[in-house]
Structure 1
């Protein structure tokens, strides 16, 4: 009986000791999940941006560039093909770059990299896309075979060029104003994220 009691006593002491050591251990299992929740929690769909002028213009640019790319891809015979290849490259590049920017802005991923001037990035993209679509559409208008696909691609090329032009004008005005709307918002969100992170570390001194 005594051996049993002693064994139970040792077991109880061992259990208490393991609980105490587990509580004071610096390797807490909640360290990584907390960090993961903070990272995933910052990714959300920004409906206000999608409803704004810039969000609507971005969506229209992606749609028109996609239609123009599909129209130019349906052309099977061409001679010469330089104008078609140029238009194909411009429409595909604009579709990819603008689509990525739309995804970044609509999910607030740009707030994760506050050191990048996103207003200037948007301005450069829209200005370059406007110029490239203008050149590609003019060349395609000068060198084409009057087919339905070429005419459709030409129409959508000039349409998306106009939309990019409007977006470039608005982006230039926002950039000249010093990004009064997006800049403070990005900075404030970045400061709040850093403050929350520091608060968690101070509340848990074993992580320091």
Structure 2
């Protein structure tokens, strides 16, 4: 039978042991769940972007590209088929790429990857989509069998070309404005550095 001192000593040792084992236990709670919640909490639908010119144009581009793809997919027989295949590839590629960019911008995922110049990425996508949609629509208009699906594809192809063209114009203007602001900031920083250097020279005439 243990005495009171022995039981107190055992309890003290047990508590110390539990504290040590608890401190060294690999199952300690970490900040990872909190960090995960913060990451997931940063993903939200940016309604301001969807209401902006770029957001509205992106939505229209995705819808018109998808309609163009549906129209061209309904064609069962073709002769020749090169124009149809080309238009199908362009509409499918534009729908996928523009849809992904719309998802990235509307969920603010581009903020988490600052290494990518998203303005240039959007400009390249819109410019290339404008060119290839116009080219594929022109080819399909010249080489077709006057079927209803082909005519509808040509109409929607030229419509989405116009939307991509407007988006390209706005993207170029945004890119130029961004470069202008960056150049002005660099020039201001250079002037500030030269002014500080001259002030230091005047304060220390022995350096002249």
**TMscore range, shorter length:** 0.7 to 0.9
Aligned partner of residue 178 in structure 2, secondary structure: coil
Partner in structure 1 of residue 43 of structure 2: 43
Taking the TM superposition and a 5 Å limit, the aligned residue runs for 1:30-179 are 30-178=30-178
TM-score normalised by L of structure 2: 0.79
> Hey, what's the Cα distance between the residues in 1 that align with 2:169 and 2:92?
23
TM-score normalised by L of structure 1: 0.79
Matched residue count: 181
Any gaps of 5 or more consecutive residues in structure 1?
A: 182-208
Larger radius of gyration: 2
Q: CA-to-partner distance for each residue in 1:64-104, whole Å, 9 max, x for gaps?
A: 00000000000000011000000000000000000000000
Q: 1:94 to 1:175 in 2, by over 3 A?
A: same
> Hey, what's the Cα distance between the residues in 2 that align with 1:5 and 1:179?
79
Q: 1:180 to 1:16 in 2, by over 3 A?
A: farther
Q: 1:180 to 1:129 in 2, by over 3 A?
A: same
